[in-house]
Amino acid sequence: MLGPQHDSVVTNREGGGNRLSQKIQQYLTSRSHSPLTLAAMDSADLLLQNFSASLRTLRIAMVTETYPPEINGVAMTMGRIVAGLQARGHSVQLVRPRQSRSELPANERLFEEILKQGIPIPRYDTLKLGLPAKQALVRLWAARRPDIVHVVTEGPLGWSALAAAAKLKLPVATDFHTNFHSYSEHYGVGWLKKPITTYLRKFHNKAQRTFVPTTTLQDELAALGLRNLQVVSRGVDTRLFNPARRSTGLRRQWGIGDDGLVVMCVGRMAPEKNLPLVLQTYQAMRVVRPDSRLVLVGDGPERAGLQREYPDAVFAGTRTGEDLAAHYASADVFLFPSITETYGNVTIEAMASGLAVVAYDYAAAREHIRHNSNGLTAPFDATKAFIKLAVALATDSPRIRALGAAAHITCAPIDWSHIVAEFEQALLELTAEPSHFSRPANAFA
């Protein structure tokens, strides 16, 4: 589903750079504004959003293998969605694996957690894979029947949720967040790509709707045989990720002055992220800009090896919240060469932070970057073109600033408040379809 905010982005894509020139100039002269000042500019919009909650509230059972405080794109996205749904008056029952023996489920107004048994995921030490729990979910939802079941991840717990929802004739939606079929090639098990694709197709085709973040992914999955696909975009917290959080002190910690060039990449340090290209591109940029510094934010199995090989780079580790936002805003150029993304939240976080982004032309970059107007895109997996764009950009500081300014402005219509409204509407439409039993009176208390 393409909401009004998506249409506005498409319209801007057609307009080229001239339409943004006045706003860019205003932004360039206001880089020293405080976060509070910039946040105040959105106060009227926030007030309207608070009064726009639907008159009909839902009781939503959400099943996921990952959720904050875990740090990854899926957890972050679902944390935003759940908070937004609660703010609009909907009740959420979150079913997920218990991450530690001492963990206790949350239970508060409009939010209830059900913690199930899980096992560690190889190479993802902080995550657990939920074990099958069909009968437990059938008992849970028969006693307190939700309006809809939303399955976020495709593990055994998610499969059990699909089976339980089918038995109880509950409407069910799924999310497609991760290209697991593409990941197999980066972990030396490319022969698994076909069976993984078959599993994902069977999994999602059991749902009445599968939400995907872009029209490009919708087309790709449809070609693989997935049905009932609907586009619900992703958002960015434009009050958190903001150029006003730029820190001279942080840049000095990195050993770079005001006029130097900070090149950044943010994300999990894992094979599927194509990090060798980040290092290769940076080395080429440094030839033409010796006053540059590479900052890598994140952690993962590749970090130790990269740190040994590139001791001059800054490995900032995992950062969250305002600390992460300050890291983004204190950089100048953002490199994102991953070729396995369904979306790539870091792309729009970097754009909202006022960085000049160099990325491949797909996923979030295709949705929101207009080449040479608010960022730079290379053809998918075209290594030489990617490096060439970044090197040319490194020598042109005014262009870096202009692209970053336009990127920041582009992100205004994709604040999470708009995306939650789009997601809410998709769920409301699905529950309004007449093919499912209505809930009894003893549904979520």
- Helix (H, G, I), strand (E, B), or coil: what is residue 378? strand
Between the alpha carbon of residue 430 and those of residues 77, 87, 230, 248, 424, the distances in Å are: 21, 20, 11, 49, 10
Mean pLDDT for the stretch of residues 425-441: 73
Taking the C-alpha atoms of residue 423 and residue 64, their distance in angstroms, rounded to an integer, is 16
Q: Which residues contact 408 (CB under 8 A, 6 or more apart)?
A: 27, 242, 243, 351, 352, 353, 354
Question: pLDDT tens, 137-171?
Answer: 999 999 999 999 999 999 999 999 999 999 999 99
Query: What's the pTM?
Result: 0.80
Supply the DSSP string of 197-249, one letter for each residue. HHHHHHHHTTSSEEEES-HHHHHHHHHTT--SEEE----B-TTTS-GGG--HH
Question: pLDDT tens, 386-411?
Answer: 999 999 999 999 999 999 999 999 99
Domain covering 4-30+242-413: architecture: 3-Layer(aba) Sandwich (3.40)
- Is the model's pLDDT at 315 over the cut of 50? yes
pLDDT at res. 55: 65
Taking the C-alpha atoms of residue 144 and residue 136, their distance in angstroms, rounded to an integer, is 12
- Is the model's pLDDT at 49 over the cut of 90? no
At the fourth CATH level, which superfamily is domain 52-235+418-432? Answer: Glycogen Phosphorylase B; (3.40.50.2000)
pLDDT at res. 178: 77
Find the distance separating the first CA and the last CA of the chain, reported in whole Å. 31
pLDDT at res. 86: 97
Radius of gyration, CA atoms only, the chain: 22
Short-list 209, 179, 174, CA closest to 342 = 179
Mean pLDDT for the stretch of residues 208-221: 94
Sheet holding 314-317, edge to edge: 314-317, 292-297, 261-266, 333-336, 356-360, 376-378
Q: Where in the chain is the domain with CATH 3.40.50.2000?
A: 4-30+242-413, 52-235+418-432
CB 255 within 8 Å of CB 222: no
Token pair of 414 as six digits: 């994709």
pLDDT at res. 124: 64
Question: pLDDT tens, 330-367?
Answer: 999 999 999 989 899 999 999 999 999 999 999 999 99
- CA 24, 29, 33, 37 dihedral sign is negative
Sheet holding 91-97, edge to edge: 107-108, 111-116, 91-97, 59-63, 148-151, 172-175, 209-212, 229-231
Supply the DSSP string of 118-157, one letter for each residue. EEEETTEEEEEEEPP-HHHHHHHHHHS--SEEEE---SHH
Q: How many of the other CB atoms lie within 10 Å of CB of 258?
A: 7
CB 420 within 8 Å of CB 80: yes
Token pair of 5 as six digits: 């905010």
Question: pLDDT tens, 247-299?
Answer: 999 999 999 999 999 999 999 998 889 999 999 999 999 999 999 999 999 99
